[in-house]
Amino acid sequence: MALGTIAARPSPRPSAQAVPGAALAEAARLLDSDPAMALARAEALIKAHRGLPPAELIAAQALRRMGKGQSALTRLIALDRAQPGVAPILWELAQAAGEVGDGRRAVAALETLTRAQPQVASGWYLLAREWRRLGETDKAWRADLSAIHASSSDPELVKAALAMNAGELDAAEAMLRARLGRVPDDASATRLIGEIHWRRGDLAEAMVWVEKALDMAPGFDLARDFLIRLLLQTNRLPEAQAHAETLCASPMQSPAHRLLRASVLVRLGDQEGAGAIYEALLRDAPDNAHVWQNLGHVRKTLGDQNAAVEAYRRAIGITATMGEAWWSLANLKTAKFTAEDRAAMQAAIATGPTGEDLFHLHFALGKALEDASDYAASFDHYATANRLRRAEIDYSAQGTHEAAAEHAATFTAPFYAARDGEGGCMAPDPIFILGLPRSGSTLVEQILSSHSMIEGTHELPEMMMIAGRLKSRAEQGEYASYGDLLASLSPADRTRLGEEYIDLTRIHRQTDRPLFIDKMPNNWQNAGLIKMILPRARIIDARRHPMACCFSGWKQHFARGQVFTYDLAEIGAYYRDYVAQMAAFDEAVPGAVHRVIYEQMVADTQAEVARLLTYVGVDFEEACLSFWENKRAVRTASSEQVRRPIYRDGLEQWTHYADWLAPLRDALGPVIEAYPDPPQDWAAHLAQ
């Protein structure tokens, strides 16, 4: 029961006379609606019953509600002396003292109260607020944490949490809202409502509620942790960083807080900062396999392959079934597995791991057997890994096809002619590299980012987020279709959206170079939108032989996204849709897209680099030919391959698996023979 409720219906020690219960209850009921009348009733009871303590409490409560805090406090001090240690009196005394600025007296009352009733969160919350008013941040933080601890055993909150975890979200929310109606400052109930919205997929509303919880209890570490994760999901990185730094200042130090801060730094591109956190954590706990794995990721990104291998092997040495660490070794591409490694992975699989560990182990063992030229066994493990991963994913190949067809139907030559010279942000900064993963896009990025005018960032989500927000408006029925919504955008709308993209991506830029690269491959689906809102942006389509590209993507496990890659037929269909849509875009806006054919880049690097730089609009620089000397952080699967000169090894690797790739060949159809040009039936394909 909340302390405020107890105080509203007091039951201090009775006087010698019979207590007029009905009259006391009536006076208490008047406190919120008519405090002056409540005071009058209480005073009458006090006079009739010689200083009746329950009536004294009601009188003090009425005075406080009437804005006469000092008078209320005077009576409460006297009442506390006469009736020491009574919880409702202490609760009211603390509130009155706080309201008149007597923080020390409020704290003294609340410390007595919370010692007597440590299981009641309301007292701790009020104590935290009073400590905060006194500037005692650390003590306030600890009081908030005690409040949260008390809430964890509150039967009402436990019942709501159990309902939420059982998927009964509406019932759980109803319980929590009813509680907040009685106890409006309950931070735990408020955070739980935020989690309910998150489980429904409404991240914006979830953040509103979690932020409310933190306003109520700034020391609520679990709520701040949750908010940081929500901010990361919505790519609000500066805010996530600020909250992560606050969390790490908690008096209840936890390695989990520092790990979360490291995750934020990784997203911000501060690999060195994240690495320093991991190394510090390992000095304290050297047997933490997950931290060794994370350190390996950072070292790989920074180009220190030997140190990355060491970190991954340390992780595996601690936990032999750690599939992600095995896969991370495989994902270095240039690292080779031994016979002992293959035996260790097979033994790990035999122990029966599940989930991510299992499919990561199969992906890694597929790579190990590929290195050993045992292609049949390698394919079996790749196929098992992909089957396990695909079962976890919600992906619609038909949805991709329909989106490509809508893109082609929307972004036509007449569409752009009607908007020529009107609207859109005219910033020349962005260079988009798009296409499929494993198409050579990281190589193109590394070449361009070796130029003194161009900054390489990484695969930025901002354009995808802008497009997703626009699409959701159509899906919610505001427009008949996404195409109709795009057609309705005014010049001012297009300018605003382009400026939004530039503003959002500023956080990723660490240098003063005038141009920057966004290497999100999936942005081929947004090529038309890019041209609409950023007319001067450069668009580079990195393309690789369809069999080589698709097979390479299929045998790759991606940390996030790329959900179309785990089935040979689906990745083939995706490639075919991509080629058709880009052919339509080339026809609508000739010359807008510069295409880099991977095999041509390998065959005549200097000529292709010169062509590429001319399109971007910068002078030729020799550094672009020695791109492997560029020490920038690279976060994609090709990070190690672009740290050495161009090589031909991977061009025909897929042919070792040709006997098993019929589903891929069938899905690609005429795209294979036509490559590097689109097939003649691309328009008919989109019309299907």
Two tokens, residue 408: 């082609």
DSSP percent split of the chain into helix, strand, coil, nearest 5: 70, 5, 30
Amino acid at 622: E
Q: Among 1.10.3470.10, 1.25.40.10, 1.10.3720.10, 3.90.1150.10, name the CATH number for the domain at 3-117.
A: 1.25.40.10
For residues 279 and 310, give the distance between their C-alpha atoms in angstroms, rounded to a whole number.
13
pLDDT of residue 89: 93
pLDDT digits (tens, 9 = 90+) for 67-117: 999 999 999 999 999 989 899 999 999 999 999 999 999 999 999 999 999
pLDDT of residue 51: 79
More confident residue, 634 or 62: 62
pLDDT digits (tens, 9 = 90+) for 305-322: 899 999 999 999 999 999
Kindly state the DSSP code that residue 52 receives in the 8-state scheme: -
| Whether CATH 3.40.50.300 fits 397-413+429-687 | yes
pLDDT digits (tens, 9 = 90+) for 411-439: 999 999 999 888 999 999 999 999 999 99
For residues 228 and 597, give the distance between their C-alpha atoms in angstroms, rounded to a whole number.
41
**pTM of the predicted model, to two decimals?**
0.81
The CA-to-CA distance between both ends of the chain, in Å, stands at 64
* CB within 8 Å of 518: residues ≥ 6 apart: 430, 431, 432, 433, 457, 459, 460, 462, 463, 505
Whether residue 268 is predicted with pLDDT greater than 60 in this model: the reply is yes
pLDDT digits (tens, 9 = 90+) for 13-58: 444 445 588 889 988 999 989 999 999 998 999 888 887 899 999 9
Whether residue 195 is predicted with pLDDT greater than 70 in this model: the reply is yes
For residues 592 and 416, give the distance between their C-alpha atoms in angstroms, rounded to a whole number.
12
* CB within 8 Å of 418: residues ≥ 6 apart: none
For residues 332 and 323, give the distance between their C-alpha atoms in angstroms, rounded to a whole number.
14
For residues 313 and 320, give the distance between their C-alpha atoms in angstroms, rounded to a whole number.
9
pLDDT of residue 559: 78
Domain boundaries, the chain: 3-117, 397-413+429-687
Peptide bond into 670 cis (omega under 30): no
pLDDT, mean over the chain: 91
Q: Which residues pair with 430 in a beta bridge?
A: 516
Section 659-666 average pLDDT: 98
For residues 592 and 347, give the distance between their C-alpha atoms in angstroms, rounded to a whole number.
53
For residues 377 and 382, give the distance between their C-alpha atoms in angstroms, rounded to a whole number.
9
